[in-house]
């Protein structure tokens, strides 16, 4: 018996016993407007891109026990776009011969005045060990700065590339004996980000919002804007990072929130007031001189001292050795967020002739925190001052949002809790909050500019599934239009099945406009042999919504009308009011975190089901399958259990791995047995 039939029987047996089961029943797509809205987080060490609109949105209906629900990549959900090597794109640039691109030809850009290709991103970062003097990073720190600026001079001491004086006293960089402005270098990074956007879109039109630190002055903002334009980006706005973070993360409608952002190059703290859909800055402080790099520096200085102490070697004069050591301590800093002690291996940093054996140094979290005590005190004092300036206490803070990789460091999190009395309120990826907020802002701007047309339906029409809004006709569909949605046949047991119809954009139906109820008539003949019910939604030029339904059986069976009479819902009065449309769209966008909450809840339910079924399969076949196959499946089960409370993306990966392991165990047969093995045990 084919394995697909076996699985079908297993699922049917579970269904009849009342166990929770699911199967993928139907896919359909909806075409979206051909303008994507994009957010860009341009960072010192890493940059990110997020897109709100996708041209094609896939939905999949999932059957659970005797009811059906729909899970979907819903319209208007911000998506962080990965590059070919990860979710972030290193903000590194270096000249390169295309022949040396190591298969990364797609990562090359053209730097016009240089007259040759430059590598951008991971490829450039990897070449740091080969030609450190030609690899440029932290260019964001030089934007709008003069060469004689104190911070620029301090930066010159720490980087391996040349920072030189520009034509008008600005801070420029030197590559291949030629001087380049920060605008020119940043533009090739933006060009690389643009390529990544195009790789994930089926069209070439998109509009961008770029986030910058709140302390950036007008000149710095202007240079970021110029770099974006030079790369061919259509920029809608430059947004402050705390506003972007609040747009992406806040779960409150009224109150006060704190946004603490610390990346590689700087940190800033902002106290914001939220009132409905309005977010305003009450007070803020930013320090462009303190960030993850400074914590790296104190670890680097400590490591140099330890090497000198234990191995009598001074690596300060060795540029290559210092570069390797800097990379090693940065990795150690990241590891100390989850470990109490790390070991930095030094065989490539210290010559084996000078130091026989396997040289290494250990760094504990306690030592790291002791080294950073002065920086921590500065940050703590500034946070307390900010509260005083806002004339509020920690009891007045309703929510805290942390963004930037450094906010994962325990001693930084302790500052936040000690001063503001709260931990991170929402499970938002620290590195992605700003870029997602930027994408949301881009979408809000585009939606505000969009005019209501007589030829489109400005709000989506859909049905309810477990309190969730499932779009059937997406907004901006040209009218007249007609769409269908398929309903599993076994939902219809009984005399009728009510289907609630809504108009709106929110993921939760309670926030949308209720149009009415469609009754699916399920007589005896429509139950027998049927495969699915099909609801048809039609919108005519007068904005009248008509809903009908039919039962589809196999190819020999006729279709029967199931909705009598045809349901009609006039919606012109609602959809032609721009104020109502704008309010519905904005509310849905700003509540996008509901999508994530719903998505995670569904993931947990599916993961629990996978854990249950994989456990059953392992118990049933423990003595039959090979030991290595059993252990592999058991490991997949353990990994899934360990990630139930973790990141949604990781959880999804572990679920797929566990499903794959389960399938392997089910499919395995002893070599001596025929493929036509008897599976009578699984007969219903």
Would you state the pLDDT for residue 65?
A: 26
Instruction: Tell me the C-alpha to C-alpha distance, in Å, between residue 541 and each of 480, 549, 569, 571, 624.
Output: 5, 21, 13, 11, 64
pTM: 0.65
Domain ranges of the chain: 32-247+431-446, 248-291+374-430, 292-364, 450-591, 595-682
Q: What is d(CA 413, CA 417) in angstroms, rounded to the nearest whole number?
A: 6
Dihedral sign from CA coordinates of 332, 335, 339, 340: positive
Strand-strand pairing, 460-465 and 468-473? antiparallel
Share of the chain above pLDDT 70, in %: 71
Q: What is the DSSP letter of 121?
A: S
CB 336 within 8 A of CB 363: yes
Q: What is the DSSP letter of 355?
A: S
Per-residue tokens: 452: 């209501």
Question: Helix, strand or coil for residue 377?
Answer: helix
Question: Helix, strand or coil for residue 157?
Answer: helix
Would you state the pLDDT for residue 101?
A: 59
Residue identified by tokens 């972030």 is 88
Q: What is the DSSP letter of 334?
A: H
More confident residue, 283 or 671: 283
pLDDT at 285 over 80: yes
Would you state the pLDDT for residue 428?
A: 66
CB 85 within 8 A of CB 122: yes
Beta strands in 290-426 (DSSP E): 341-345, 360-364, 399-403
Confidence of residue 525 (pLDDT cuts 50, 70, 90): very low
Is 595-682 a domain of CATH 3.40.50.300?
A: no
Residue 119, burial from CB neighbour count under 10 angstroms (0-12, 13-18, 19+):
buried
CB 244 within 8 A of CB 263: no
Residue identified by tokens 């963004």 is 403
pLDDT at 21 over 60: no
pLDDT at 286 over 90: no
Q: Domain 32-247+431-446 adopts which CATH fold?
A: Nucleotidyltransferase; domain 5 (3.30.420)
Confidence of residue 522 (pLDDT cuts 50, 70, 90): low
Would you tell me which CATH number, out of the four given (3.90.640.10, 3.40.50.300, 3.50.50.60, 3.90.550.10), belongs to the domain 292-364? 3.90.640.10
Angle among Cα 500, 504, 508 to the nearest 5 degrees reads: 65
* Highest mean pLDDT out of 148-152, 482-486, 654-658: 148-152
More confident residue, 102 or 201: 201
Instruction: Tell me the C-alpha to C-alpha distance, in Å, between residue 48 and each of 79, 177, 434.
Output: 11, 30, 9
pLDDT at 40 over 90: yes
CATH number for the domain whose boundaries are 248-291+374-430: 3.30.420.40
Would you state the pLDDT for residue 552?
A: 60
Average pLDDT, rounded, for the chain: 76
Confidence of residue 425 (pLDDT cuts 50, 70, 90): low
CB 35 within 8 A of CB 66: no
595-682 has the same fold as 292-364: no
Would you state the pLDDT for residue 578?
A: 61
Per-residue tokens: 640: 């899934």
Question: Helix, strand or coil for residue 493?
Answer: coil
More confident residue, 532 or 378: 378
Confidence of residue 18 (pLDDT cuts 50, 70, 90): very low
More confident residue, 615 or 645: 615
Beta strands in 305-391 (DSSP E): 341-345, 360-364
The residue-averaged pLDDT of 38-51 equals 92
ω before 480 within 30° of 0 (cis)?
yes
pLDDT at 103 over 80: no
pLDDT at 75 over 50: no
Q: Domain 450-591 adopts which CATH fold?
A: Substrate Binding Domain Of DNAk; Chain A, domain 1 (2.60.34)
Q: What is d(CA 547, CA 271) in angstroms, rounded to the nearest whole number?
A: 49
Indicate the range of 8-17, 99-108, 193-202, 374-383 predicted with least confidence.
8-17
Helix (H) / strand (E) element for 60: namely strand 56-64
């Amino acid at each position: 018996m084919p394995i697909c039939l076996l699985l079908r029987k297993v699922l049917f047996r579970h269904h009849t016993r009342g166990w929770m089961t699911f199967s993928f029943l139907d896919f359909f797509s909806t075409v979206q407007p051909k303008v994507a809205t994009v957010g860009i987080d341009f960072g010192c060490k890493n940059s990110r891109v997020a897109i709100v609109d996708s041209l094609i949105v896939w939905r999949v209906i999932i059957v659970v026990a005797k009811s059906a629900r729909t899970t979907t990549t819903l319209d208007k959900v911000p998506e962080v776009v990965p590059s070919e090597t990860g979710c972030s794109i290193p903000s590194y640039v270096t000249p390169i011969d295309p022949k040396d691109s190591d298969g990364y030809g797609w990562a090359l850009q053209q730097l016009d005045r240089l007259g040759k290709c430059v590598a951008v991103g991971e490829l450039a970062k990897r070449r740091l060990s080969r030609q450190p003097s030609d690899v440029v990073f932290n260019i964001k720190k030089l934007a709008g700065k003069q060469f004689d600026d104190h911070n620029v001079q301090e930066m010159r001491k720490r980087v391996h590339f040349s920072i030189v004086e520009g034509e008008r006293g600005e801070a420029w960089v030197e590559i291949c004996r030629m001087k380049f402005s920060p605008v020119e270098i940043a533009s090739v990074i933006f060009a690389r980000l643009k390529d990544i956007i195009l790789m994930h879109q089926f069209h070439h039109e998109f509009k961008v919002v770029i986030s910058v630190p709140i302390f950036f002055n007008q000149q710095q903002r202007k240079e970021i804007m110029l770099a974006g334009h030079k790369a061919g980006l259509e920029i809608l706005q430059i947004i402050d990072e705390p506003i972007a973070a609040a747009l992406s993360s806040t779960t409150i409608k009224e109150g006060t929130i704190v946004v603490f952002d610390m990346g590689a190059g700087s940190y800033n703290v902002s106290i914001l007031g939220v009132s409905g859909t309005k977010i305003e800055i009450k007070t803020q402080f930013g320090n462009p001189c303190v960030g993850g790099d400074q914590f790296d520096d104190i670890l680097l200085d400590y490591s140099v001292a330890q090497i000198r102490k234990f191995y009598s070697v001074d690596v300060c004069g060795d540029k290559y050795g210092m570069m390797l050591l800097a990379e090693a301590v940065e990795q150690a800093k990241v590891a100390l967020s989850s470990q109490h002690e790390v070991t930095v291996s030094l065989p490539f940093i210290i010559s084996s002739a000078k130091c026989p054996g396997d040289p290494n140094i250990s760094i504990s979290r306690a030592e790291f925190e002791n080294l950073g005590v002065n920086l921590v005190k500065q940050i703590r004092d500034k946070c307390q001052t900010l509260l005083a300036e806002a004339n509020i206490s920690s009891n007045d803070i309703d929510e805290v949002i942390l963004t930037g990789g450094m906010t994962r460091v325990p001693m930084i999190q302790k500052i936040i809790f000690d001063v503001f009395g709260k931990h991170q309120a929402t499970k938002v990826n620290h590195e992605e909050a700003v870029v997602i907020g930027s994408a949301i802002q881009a979408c809000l701007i585009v939606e505000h500019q969009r005019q209501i047309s007589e030829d489109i339906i400005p709000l989506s029409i859909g049905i309810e599934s477990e309190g969730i809004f499932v779009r059937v006709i997406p907004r901006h569909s040209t009218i007249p239009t007609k769409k269908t949605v398929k309903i599993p046949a076994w939902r219809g047991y009984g005399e009728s099945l009510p289907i609630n119809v809504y108009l709106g954009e929110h993921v939760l139906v309670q926030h949308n406009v209720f149009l009415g109820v469609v009754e699916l008539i399920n007589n005896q003949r429509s139950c027998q042999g049927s495969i699915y019910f099909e609801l048809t939604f039609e919108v005519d030029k007068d904005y009248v919504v008509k809903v009908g339904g039919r039962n589809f059986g196999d190819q020999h069976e006729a279709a029967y009308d199931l909705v009598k009479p045809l349901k009609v819902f006039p919606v012109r009065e609602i959809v032609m009011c721009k104020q109502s449309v704008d309010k519905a769209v904005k509310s849905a966008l700003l509540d996008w975190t509901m999508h994530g909450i719903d998505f995670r809840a569904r993931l947990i339910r599916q993961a629990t089901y996978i854990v249950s079924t994989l456990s059953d399969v392992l118990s049933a076949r423990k003595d039959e399958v090979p030991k290595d196959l059993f252990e592999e499946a058991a490991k997949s089960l353990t990994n899934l259990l360990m990630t139930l409370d973790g990141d949604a993306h990781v959880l999804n990966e572990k679920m797929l791995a566990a499903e794959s392991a389960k399938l392997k165990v089910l499919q395995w047969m002893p070599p001596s047995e025929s493929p036509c093995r008897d599976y009578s045990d699984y007969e219903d």
